[in-house]
Amino acid sequence: MHPMLNVAIKAARRAGNIINRASLNSERIQVTRKQHNDFVTEVDQAAESAIIDTLKDAFPDHGFLAEEGGEIQGTALEGQPSHVWIIDPLDGTTNFIHGFPHYAVSIALAVDGVTQQAVIYDPNRDELFTATRGAGAYANNRRLRVAGRLKMSEALIGTGFPYREDQDVDAYLEIFAKMTRQCAGLRRPGAAALDLAYVAAGRLDAFFEQGLKPWDMAAGALLITEAGGLVGNYAGEESYLHTGEIMAGNPRLFAQLVTQLRGHSQVK
């Protein structure tokens, strides 16, 4: 296993322990509202600190892009560091607040803008998803492959509803109605990082969502490509990480999704 991935796993497990301890006293958790339906808790912040402290100890010259802290530059490098950790300490905060057990820690390492390492840790199930570029994707050391279903009519597809005020709910509902008619089932579990890991594991056949941030997508996207899937925006192009529009699935379903979603792409 890659030494940088080992450190990321240690960081993710530390964050998971903080989250699990806090979940035992969920009614005491301090919740702050960032904007409509967008929440942050002291647990998000404590988990993020644990992750960054663990990574900084091992890699003091690396940079960080994290949900709660924004961009934190590496200390020992001038300008942009070549190695940047992209971190979501608790993806699915709204689920966590309610005790709905679908949330995860997501950590990815980008080297010169290309994701090389990925860890998604589900502390509820003690399930660890990992990938190193070129070396495959794993869940608790079991090799992952995307599902082999070839027909939309048989596919279970994950998605996410718009939750911020600046997102167009009506445009999304149009897609939702269209996709409901096309596939075997749509699921909206509420934690994009974990949903993407489920595509890599073959539990979801595909996934699509708009309005995401790099830390929602970076680790999950590498898991999927290392598990034999494709990831892109709604037009099937690669510009998903910083446009926030992502679609993923096995190659056959991915091509079918492009025909359904291309016209709804918000990428200019």
- The per-residue pLDDT for range 191-201, each reduced to its tens digit, is 999 999 999 99
Q: Distance (Å, rounded) from C-alpha 265 to C-alpha 268?
A: 8
| Interacting residues of 169 by C-beta distance below 8 A, sequence separation 6+ | 161, 162
Give residue 145's pLDDT. 98
The structure tokens listed for 72 are 């934190």
3-state secondary structure of 180: helix
Q: pLDDT digit string (tens) for 110-146? A: 999 999 999 999 999 999 999 999 999 999 989 999 9
Q: Is the pLDDT of residue 184 over 90?
A: yes
Fold topology of 152-263: D-Maltodextrin-Binding Protein; domain 2 (3.40.190)
C-beta of residue 183 within 8 angstroms of C-beta of residue 128: no
Report how far residue 36's alpha carbon sits from residue 214's, in angstroms, rounded to the nearest whole number. Answer: 20
b/e for 194-230, b at 16 or more Cβ within 10 A? Answer: bbbbbbbbbebbbbbbbbbbbbbbbbbbbbbbbbbbb
CA distances from 66 to 51, 72, 211, 247, 253 (A): 10, 8, 16, 22, 31
CA distance 21 to 183: 38
| Percent of all residues in the chain with a pLDDT value above 90, rounded to a whole number | 79
Where are the extended beta strands (E) located within the chain? 31-35, 38-41, 63-66, 70-72, 83-91, 104-111, 114-122, 127-132, 137-139, 142-143, 156-159, 185-187, 206-209, 230-232, 246-249
CB 53: neighbour CB atoms within 10 A?
11
For 3-143, CATH number out of 3.40.640.10, 3.40.50.1110, 3.40.30.10, 3.30.540.10 equals 3.30.540.10
pLDDT above 90: residue 35: no
- Boundaries of every domain in the chain: 3-143, 152-263
**Distance of alpha carbon 231 from alpha carbon 209, whole angstroms:** 12
pTM as predicted:
0.94
What pLDDT shows up at residue 36? 61
Q: What is the mean pLDDT of residues 159-186?
A: 85
Window from 68-72, 151-155, 250-254 with minimum mean pLDDT: 68-72
Position 79 confidence tier, pLDDT thresholds 50, 70, 90:
low
Strand, helix or coil for residue 108:
strand
Query: Per-residue pLDDT averaged across 165-177, rounded?
Result: 82
Q: How far apart are CA 72 and CA 266, in angstroms?
A: 29
Nearest to 121 by CA among 104, 140, 98, 142: 104
Q: What is the mean pLDDT of the chain?
A: 92
The pLDDT confidence band at residue 169, using thresholds 50, 70 and 90, is confident
CB atoms near residue 248 (< 10 Å)? 30
**Phi and psi (nearest 5°) for 226?**
-75, -15
200 close to 220: Cβ distance less than 8 angstroms: yes
Q: In which band, very low, low, confident or very high, does the pLDDT at 207 lie, cut at 50, 70 and 90?
A: very high
In angstroms, how far is CA 161 from the centroid of its own chain?
15
